[in-house]
């Protein structure tokens, strides 16, 4: 399985979203992409690990310039990563 380590900026953790440039589209499997709409086409999930927690999500094109997992993540009041 392919993997990629990335450093997540503090602002990303506060906002609960991870964004990738469209140039990263080749890194994700072609069948992992989904529609932007929540009730639209779902892609096959890929695994993300953030703050020691693992979660799966399909990938959406969130704008004309970036990609993001459909699911967001955050931190609870104890500082633990949670998946939304």
Q: What would the pLDDT profile of 47-79 be if each residue is shown by its tens digit?
A: 877 667 777 888 888 777 888 887 776 655 555
64, 2 Cβ separation under 8 angstroms: no
Average pLDDT, the chain: 76
> Quick check: is 62 in a domain?
yes
Q: How far apart are CA 33 and CA 57, in angstroms?
A: 10
- Residue of 77, 79, 76, 73 whose CA lies nearest to 13: 73
Q: What would the pLDDT profile of 23-38 be if each residue is shown by its tens digit?
A: 888 888 899 998 877 7
Residue 32: what pLDDT? 92
> Quick check: is 67 in a domain?
yes
Beta-bridge mates of residue 69: 59
> How far are the Cα atoms of 56, 64, 72 from residue 48, in angstroms, in the given order?
6, 22, 11
Range of the domain at 65: 10-71
Number of structural domains (the chain) is 1
Residue 12: what pLDDT? 74
> Quick check: is 18 in a domain?
yes
């Amino acid at each position: 399985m392919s993997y990629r380590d990335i450093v997540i900026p503090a602002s990303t953790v506060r906002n609960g979203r991870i964004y990738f440039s469209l140039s990263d589209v080749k890194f994700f499997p072609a069948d992992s992409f989904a529609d932007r709409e929540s009730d639209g086409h779902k892609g096959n999930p890929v695994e993300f690990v953030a703050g020691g927690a693992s979660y799966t999500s399909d990938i959406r094109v969130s704008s004309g310039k970036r990609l993001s997992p459909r699911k967001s993540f955050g931190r609870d009041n104890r500082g633990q990563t949670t998946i939304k």
